[in-house]
Structure 1
Amino acid sequence: MEIVWLTMVVVMASWLPPTAAVELTFELPDNAKECFYEEIEKGTESTLEFQVVTGGHYDVDVVLEGPSRQILYREMKQQYGQFQFTPEISGTYQVCFSNEFSTFSHKLIYVDFQVGDEPRLPGVGEQFTAMTQMESSSQKIHEDLNSVIDYQTHHRLREAQGRKSAEDLNERVLFWAVGETLGILVIAVGQVMVLKNFFADKKTNQAAY
């Protein structure tokens, strides 16, 4: 059940339309660190967004570094976060997610590393003249649909997180019920054995007289 659920989350990320950035869901094992790299030009507005979907206490360490290894963003044991920045130099930017503080729980993490503006609708705004009303409406619909996709992605992540929490709670309740059942059976058998010993003692005493 766990493997099927994780596969559904990963497939969910593949439904998203291609963009000029990184958007994916990945599994981060315990005592592990995973890094992603993005080439960013100077002056390009960029946004880093992440969320821990499942695992442990839903926390992870995040560090964003520039080409000169300068730290632009650092968060320790966070469930989710968002950081917007405009690079002052061109180069390779690195974002690393660390689960090295956890000794047994792996995490499932969603990350969206957007670079630059959302690509415009193909065929709209490529001419030098002003856009017609139809082209403007098409571009507005395109932007609204992109916003809808973002909202759906976050709602799917929250739904997946809630489902995993419910499954964990159901599993704990099941184990607790099984433990209680075993405890009741042990107590019942113990009481029968104690009562049986009482009557056995009486018969032994009567036989002695």
Structure 2
Amino acid sequence: MTLLCILLLSVLSTFVSAHKITVEASTKECFFEDLHQHDQMTVTYQVGEGGHLDIDFWLTDPEGDVLAKQIRQSTGSASITAEKDGRYEYCFSNQMSTMADKQVSFNVHGIIYIPEEADIVAPVEREIRSLAIGLLAVKDEQEYIVVRERRHRDTAESTNDRVKWWSVLQAIVLFSVVAWQIYYLKSFFEVKRII
């Protein structure tokens, strides 16, 4: 029963959310998380489609101070520990692009701080939290691999289509040249009569 209570408490003290958004050209998308002092938050993102697969990202505290900033990255991660209570903002900006919309997948992980001196936190719970954080990292890596696999598959299919159509064009040109050569050689052997 105690183990069940500890597991339930660790699940309640961790929040996770995954999102997929489209950031249109020349715009930015911002999101908020309300954190308390000593809470931890990690934002991981990756651009799946659009343009050069890059995006600007920044994370600010309640007073507007920039805590993390990444410019023109295709994938990234930012982790913070809240120093004050308030609303923390993170934004994805596609303002550098005038034509290409970008599709961004991102995850937000957070750990709600519970003081160590509280009787609630047992060594087993600390280990469960540690394992939960490790599992979240594995999940992020799997999502990254899925997006990369999709991108590589699209590239391979595109290359395959180009090779196929190039081969068809070469066959058409080859048969045209053969037909022309037969016609041209045939004209050498024709006898022309002059009356």
Please report the TM-score for the alignment, with normalisation by the length of structure 2: 0.72
- Quote the sequence identity (%): 15
1:49 aligns with 2:32: no
User: CA distance change for structure 1 residues 165 and 189 in 2, over 3 Å: closer, same or farther?
Assistant: same
User: CA distance change for structure 1 residues 35 and 18 in 2, over 3 Å: closer, same or farther?
Assistant: farther
Deviation at 1:146, TM superposition (A): 0.6
Equivalent-residue separation in structure 1 for 2:166 and 2:109 (angstroms): 48
1:112 aligns with 2:108: yes
Partner of 1:171: 157
Deviation at 1:115, TM superposition (A): 5.3
The answer as to whether partners of 1:50 and 1:110 remain within 8 angstroms in 2 is yes
| Aligned pair partner of 2:31 in 28, 36, 44 | 36
| Aligned AA (1:151) | A
SS in 2 for 1:207: coil
Equivalent-residue separation in structure 2 for 1:106 and 1:29 (angstroms): 5
User: CA distance change for structure 1 residues 68 and 136 in 2, over 3 Å: closer, same or farther?
Assistant: closer
Please report the TM-score for the alignment, with normalisation by the length of structure 1: 0.68
Which whole-Å deviations, capped at 9, do the CAs of 1:34-64 have from their partners, x for residues lacking one? 11112223x3343332221512443211122
| Aligned pair partner of 2:137 in 151, 154, 157 | 151
Aligned residues: 179
Which whole-Å deviations, capped at 9, do the CAs of 1:81-100 have from their partners, x for residues lacking one? 22324334x33221111123
| Aligned AA (1:207) | K
| Aligned AA (1:153) | K
Give ranges in structure 1 of 5+ residues lacking alignment: 1-16
User: CA distance change for structure 1 residues 112 and 77 in 2, over 3 Å: closer, same or farther?
Assistant: same
| Aligned pair partner of 1:194 in 169, 172, 180 | 180
Equivalent-residue separation in structure 2 for 1:22 and 1:148 (angstroms): 13
Partner of 1:27: 21
Deviation at 1:198, TM superposition (A): 0.4
Partner of 1:207: 192
More strand by share: 2
1:84 aligns with 2:70: no
| Aligned AA (2:79) | F
Which whole-Å deviations, capped at 9, do the CAs of 1:89-131 have from their partners, x for residues lacking one? x3322111112333225223213252533899xxx944xxxx8
Which whole-Å deviations, capped at 9, do the CAs of 1:134-157 have from their partners, x for residues lacking one? x644x2552244134213312312
The answer as to whether partners of 1:30 and 1:104 remain within 8 angstroms in 2 is yes
| Aligned AA (1:48) | T
RCO higher in structure (CA 8 A, sep ≥6): 2
The answer as to whether partners of 1:55 and 1:107 remain within 8 angstroms in 2 is yes
| Aligned AA (2:65) | Q
Deviation at 1:74, TM superposition (A): 2.0
Give ranges in structure 2 of 5+ residues lacking alignment: 1-10
